[in-house]
Amino acid sequence: MVKARVLALAAGLAWPLIPSQGSTAPARADEFHARYAVNLVGFHIGEVAADGTLGPAHYRIGLNAKLTGVAAWVSDIKLALTSAGTLRKNGLAPSTYATTSANSQGVRTVRMALEGGNVRAVEIFPPFEDKEGRVPVTEANKRNVLDPSSALIMSVPEGESLIGPAACNRTIPVYDGYVRFDISLRFAGVKNIDINGYSGPVAVCTARYTPISGHKRDSKSTRFMAENRDIEAWLAPVARAHVVVPVRVALMTMAGRAVIEAVEFSVDPSSDVTAVTAH
């Protein structure tokens, strides 16, 4: 289960390195390709491939994550995500979100429709059978939220530095179709990085996980994450869009320290100006 959660986090991390949103969005669509590495206690256990298209007002992204190496011999876990929505000056407004997860026990699909930050419909197949003991998700919990992928593009107010407190200091409300939680980020400093595609300073944020609803009241993993003070995210600036995006997330898990890190990415103009259309 821990490996599945780490891989899911990796997939959520993988796609935000896109020059996105804001009044300076390009007239043509951009195509995005990236690869991320997932490590647990120093061992490489997974990879994420991301492909997306970003237009002047809309975006679409696809992700595929899987265990690799020795980890794949122990457990065959695969995860696919897709997300689409509208780009606005103050952030993303997702319209559709879907995940398909597969392991030795079977396949499960979650689909979610949103409008204006509010969840309109959720479909989970096959449905979860362990609802007993969970904190109920209220209708209020489904308002003014982001899906896990869209939550990772973070706008910075105009006039504020992309490498400073304004890059980090925020609370992000997230709903994945089953569990509602907050991620709170706080500025901790600045580091310099050099990876294929970006070289320069990044904002370093500490992060805290706050469960809201949908989780089991007696869940050891939820309690561990809620008390976890060893979570850190590095956010790289995307100057044209005036946003920041994660390039590295490190956190302590119940199985040890996990690190999800970009190893390569590219953004190229699309040859198809209609690649992203309204949804």
pLDDT confidence of residue 169? 96
pLDDT confidence of residue 112? 97
Q: In the beta sheet, which residues pair with residue 139?
A: none
pLDDT confidence of residue 213? 97
- Is pTM beyond 0.85? Reply is no
Note if the bond before 126 is cis, omega within 30 degrees: yes
Distance between CA atoms of residues 75 and 106, nearest Å:
12
Domain map of the chain by residue range?
A: 2-269
How many C-beta neighbours within 10 Å does residue 140 have?
9
Structure tokens at 199: 């070289």
pLDDT confidence of residue 15? 41
pLDDT in tens, the chain (279 residues): 555 555 555 555 544 333 333 334 445 566 667 788 989 898 888 888 877 776 667 777 777 888 776 555 556 788 888 888 887 777 788 999 999 988 878 899 999 999 988 999 999 999 988 778 999 999 999 999 999 888 877 888 888 999 999 999 999 999 999 999 999 999 999 999 888 888 889 999 999 999 999 999 999 999 999 999 999 999 988 776 677 888 889 999 998 999 989 898 666 666 654 444 444
pLDDT confidence of residue 88? 77
**Could you give phi then psi for residue 199, rounded to 5 degrees?**
-135, 120
pLDDT confidence of residue 79? 87
